[in-house]
Structure 1
Amino acid sequence: MSRKNVTSFLLLIGFLSSCSSIEIFKERTEIRPYKEYTSFVIVNKEIGSRSFKDELIDAKVSNELEIKMKELGLVYDRDSPDLVIRYSSNEDPRQKEVYNNQYPMWGMRVWDPWMFDPRFMGRQNMVSTKNYELLQLIVDYIDPKQDKMLMTITAVSEASSAKTKSKKLIKSAEKVVQTYKEHVKAN
């Protein structure tokens, strides 16, 4: 392998490992899609209901859902839609323990000329806690003609800051619409 290929490979591995995942769950399918849906409406937007604590994040999620549904070829129709979309959220603050390596890069320091590192003197257990938020974006697709649930798609992710929270929820909305598209095409 050339040096350029190795560098590109290492950058790709670094990028992929830095991205945390968004898990998608498709649940509660009451009916199969019996036709091609051509129009939709987002209920939250029409009635002014917020599903997130932050009004800006709520607007971004609503906007992303609308844009991605329009990209699928559907038209936004608030009067007589073929498909009704309703979303909600679950924002759960949590903590997890992070174990810091007391013996960096040398394993258990079996042989090391600098055996006694003053940073680690007297510290046997180096555990800290990290605050994060478990995010769930729950999107219901409802067929108003039959008054039944086409499906519910839940996107689950974690965020440790407001900036990553916004990005994760926008990406979650994108993945939810992608899952909807795959479900409709498969049936």
Structure 2
Amino acid sequence: MNQIHSKNLFAFLLILVGFSSCSAIDIFKENVEVPISPPYKSFVIINQEIGMRGFSSQFIDQQVQIHLQQALEARGLVYEKTEPELVIRYTSNEDPRKRETYQNNNVYPYWGYRVWDPWMYNPYFNNRNNPTTSSYELVQVIVDFIDQKEDKLLMTLTGVTEVSNQKTKSKKVLKTTDKIIAYFINELKEAE
């Protein structure tokens, strides 16, 4: 019985660590100038055609271009340079930030030793260490979907996520790009 309890506890801790290591990705829809009028059969990524970088890292920028093109082609759209029905433009906002965290300095529980000296172990008095500062980056992936005939925005989708490690930045940017594409495809399906 004790072994089953420890396995369940271990599984719970693994799930908890897995959820805490994932940062949320929020998608915001803005700048709707004209309604979506499907079907759109062809597209172009303007960044790729004019050599405009949307990210500070050239590697991430190329990954986003490839990822956008492959994801839209997988959904049946064709890349067309000369007369596309849909024009896609992307950019980013990479904002370095800092966060202060405090740790509880109270090493004793609120019961027990506090009875003898309530001021020393009071949870409301002198129970914080010096703050520790951690750096992270707030990354926004901004994608404009433009109707070529109307020359107006169908929508701007902005995906926002936090990156605490530069090694995982490209992975999180691509996950954010996936969510933006899924959101756009869902909007196309609803408009049909």
Q: How high is the TM-score relative to the length of structure 1?
A: 0.84
Which residue of structure 1 lines up, in the alignment, with residue 150 of structure 2?
146
Assess if the C-alpha contact under 8 Å between 1:103 and 1:109 holds in 2. Answer: no
- The structure having more radius of gyration, on CA atoms, is 2
Q: Which residue of the other structure, out of 167, 173, 178, is the alignment partner of 1:169?
A: 173
1:102 CA displacement: 2.3
Mapped contact 1:31–1:150 kept (Cα < 8 A): yes
Runs of 4+ aligned residues of structure 1 deviating over 2 Å after TM superposition are 2-14, 100-104, 106-112, 122-126
- Unaligned 5+ segments in structure 2 are 115-125
Equivalent positions of 1:1-187 (< 5 A) are: 8-103=11-106, 107-108=109-110, 110-111=112-113, 124-187=128-191
The 1:98/1:181 distance shift into structure 2, 3 A limit, reads same
Count how many residue pairs are aligned between Structure 1 and Structure 2.
178
Contact 1:96–1:129 (8 Å) recurs in 2? yes
Percent identity of equivalent pairs: 45
Offset, 1:73: 1.1
> SS of the residue aligned with 1:97?
strand
- Determine helix, strand or coil for the equivalent of 1:138: strand
Shift of 1:79: 1.3
Q: Gapped runs of 5+ residues in structure 1?
A: 113-121
Q: What TM-score comes out, normalization by structure 2 length?
A: 0.82
Equivalent residues of 1:43, 1:86 under 8 A apart: yes
In 1: Cα distance, 2:106 partner to 2:168 partner: 31
Letter in 1 for 2:187: H
Q: Separation in 1 of the partners of 2:16 and 2:159?
A: 24
